[in-house]
């Protein structure tokens, strides 16, 4: 009987449903609930992973543990950014790798608009005026509705799609930029780098550049000085992805020289952000500490995806959120 290591800490009803799905599919199930205050649980999970053909991970295990397994056939990382967990060795050994894409897209998309409204309303000035009991607000940039304005979304996966859907509700023009073309209804236009699209050309007339792409060799520092120089001085940047997709030094220089109007940053290159980083002090920058609201559907989507994939794994069908070495490593 094949063994499934389930190293997750879902609410009890979801956990029971997941464990039962594995048992019904003929797996012996070893469930360990991660606890950051109890290192022995992680040590036990590492031992159990040695002879598990499936590992469902809600918390990280050392990559070396997974790479050394001779029986591992499928590993699910129950989060989105798995660039440090999915390695060439795992792909070379034929291990199927899936992630938690889609489970928190709703709230990540909402968070983008928190940034956008905070920046475009210039809420800092509004709150300062309120503190002064002053019925007057200064606006450094045009105080305009989102209707009719344009948004380029770098990355057209589940998060990018959720952002675009909400932008369309505001009457915005949505442009997707990705490695390969995907025809998606929530985008007015799709630009693909595989077809020759160049990011610095694509950003020339847009009002908002939203970074929602995964981090890999191709996307590292993709938003660089050339991109900032091409943007309009009243355009904004929002990063809801990984900090290193943006060249942070180039961003600081663009803000300092007012080549762009502002930036909303949930992630930065080195986290936590250093206390002496210039990013803290730009009045046009809004920073959240890699912290977004949690979707009420997070556990439901996450567990249902894994359960569906159990059946697909048994039948040999392609798994939902199956990752490729090309997308993650190139």
pLDDT digits (tens, 9 = 90+) for 280-297: 999 999 999 999 888 888
- Report d(CA 86, CA 89) in Å as an integer: 8
Q: Are strands 96-99 and 74-77 parallel, antiparallel or unpaired?
A: parallel
One domain for residues 137 and 269: yes
The pLDDT of residue 329 is above 80: no
User: Which residues partner with 56 through β-bridges?
Assistant: 6, 76
Split at pLDDT 50, 70, 90, the class of 83 is confident
Could you tell me the pLDDT band of residue 327, with boundaries at 50, 70 and 90? confident
Question: Residue 300 pLDDT more than 80?
Answer: yes
**pLDDT score, position 19:** 97
Give the pLDDT confidence of 223-270 residue by residue, as tens digits.
999 999 999 999 999 999 999 999 999 999 999 999 999 999 999 999
The rounded distance, in Å, linking the Cα atoms of 261 and 263 is 7
- As given in the structure block, the two tokens for residue 18 are 């997941």
Instruction: Report d(CA 137, CA 28) in Å as an integer.
Output: 64
The total number of structural domains that make up the chain: 2
Angle at 157 between CA 9 and CA 194, to 5 degrees: 140
Do both 84 and 229 map to the same domain?
no
11 has a pLDDT exceeding 90: yes
- Examine the domain organization and report whether 180 and 323 are in the same domain: no
Indicate if 111 and 200 belong to the same structural domain: yes
| Average predicted confidence (pLDDT) for the chain | 95
Torsion of CA 100, 181, 313, 310, to 10 degrees: 40
- Same domain for 123 and 196, yes or no, is yes
177 plus 268 within the same structural domain: yes
Contact in structure between 196 and 221 (CB atoms under 8 Å): no
**Cα dihedral: 169, 173, 177, 182 (round 10):** 60
pLDDT single digits (tens) 157-168:
999 999 999 999
Whether 208 and 281 share a structural domain: yes
Residue 75 pairs with which residues in a beta bridge?
Answer: 55, 97
Q: Is the backbone of residue 171 left (phi > 0), alpha (psi -120 to 50) or beta?
A: left
DSSP 8-state class, residue 294: P
Q: What percentage of the chain exceeds 70 in pLDDT?
A: 100
171, 129, 130, 134: which is closest to 149 by C-alpha?
Answer: 171
Is there a single domain that holds both residue 254 and residue 140?
A: yes
Q: What CATH number does the domain containing 44 carry?
A: 3.40.50.720
Helices (H) and strands (E) in the chain, counts: 12, 12
Residues 122 and 237 in one domain: yes
Both 127 and 258 in a single domain? yes
Q: What pLDDT was estimated at residue 66? A: 97
Give the integer Cα–Cα distance in Å for 158 and 164. Answer: 10
C-alpha dihedral sign at 220, 221, 223, 226: negative
Report which of residues 138 and 213 the model is more confident about.
213
134 pLDDT tier (thresholds 50, 70, 90)? very high
Q: What is the pLDDT of residue 84?
A: 87
Is 255 in the same domain as 182? yes
Q: What is the Cα–Cα distance from 93 to 73, expressed in whole angstroms? A: 9
Exposure string over 272-282, b if 16+ CB within 10 A, otherwise e: ebeeeeebeeb
Provide the annotated active-site residues. Answer: 242, 271, 290
Q: Are residues 77 and 135 in the same domain?
A: no
Measured CA to CA in angstroms, residue 184 lies from 26, 155, 188, 236 at distances of: 38, 12, 8, 24
Interval 85-113 mean pLDDT:
95
What's the rounded Cα separation, in Å, for the pair 265 and 300? 28
Beta carbons within 8 Å of 36's beta carbon, 6+ residues apart? 59
First and final C-alpha spacing in the chain? 36
Structure tokens, 189: 């236009």
pTM of the complete model = 0.90
For 255, the 3-state DSSP assignment is helix
Helix, strand, coil abundance in the chain, percent, nearest 5: 35, 15, 45
Domain holding 111, by residue range, is 105-287
């Amino acid at each position: 009987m094949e063994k499934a290591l389930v190293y997750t800490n879902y609410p009890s009803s979801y956990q029971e449903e997941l464990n039962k799905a594995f048992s019904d599919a003929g797996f012996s199930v070893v469930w360990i609930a991660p606890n950051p205050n109890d290192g022995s649980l992680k040590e036990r999970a590492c031992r159990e992973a040695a002879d598990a053909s499936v590992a469902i991970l809600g918390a990280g295990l050392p990559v070396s543990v997974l790479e050394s397994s001779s029986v591992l056939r499928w590993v699910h990382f129950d989060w989105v950014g798995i660039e440090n967990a999915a390695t060439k060795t795992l792909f070379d050994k034929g291990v199927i790798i899936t992630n938690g894409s889609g489970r928190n897209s709703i709230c990540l998309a909402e968070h983008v608009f928190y940034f956008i409204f905070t920046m475009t309303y210039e809420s800092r000035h509004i709150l300062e005026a309120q503190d002064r009991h002053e019925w007057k607000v200064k606006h450094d940039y045009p105080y305009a509705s989102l209707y009719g304005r344009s948004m380029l979304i770098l990355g057209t996966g589940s998060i990018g799609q959720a952002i675009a859907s909400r932008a369309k509700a505001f009457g915005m023009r949505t442009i997707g930029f990705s490695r390969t073309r995907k025809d998606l209804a929530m985008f007015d236009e799709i630009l693909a780098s595989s077809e020759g699209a160049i990011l610095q050309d694509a950003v020339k007339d847009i009002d908002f550049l939203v970074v929602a792409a995964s981090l890999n060799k191709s996307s590292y520092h993709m938003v660089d000085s050339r991109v900032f120089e091409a943007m309009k001085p009243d355009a904004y940047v929002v990063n809801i992805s990984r900090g290193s997709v943006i060249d942070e030094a180039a961003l600081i220089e663009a803000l300092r020289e007012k080549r762009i109007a502002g930036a909303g940053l949930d992630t930065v290159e080195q986290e936590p952000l250093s206390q002496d980083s210039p990013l803290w002090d730009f009045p046009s920058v809004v920073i959240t500490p890699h912290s977004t609201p949690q979707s009420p559907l997070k556990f439901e989507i996450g567990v249902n995806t894994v359960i569906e994939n159990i059946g697909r794994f048994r039948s040999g069908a392609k798994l939902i959120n199956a990752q490729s070495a090309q997308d993650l490593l190139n």
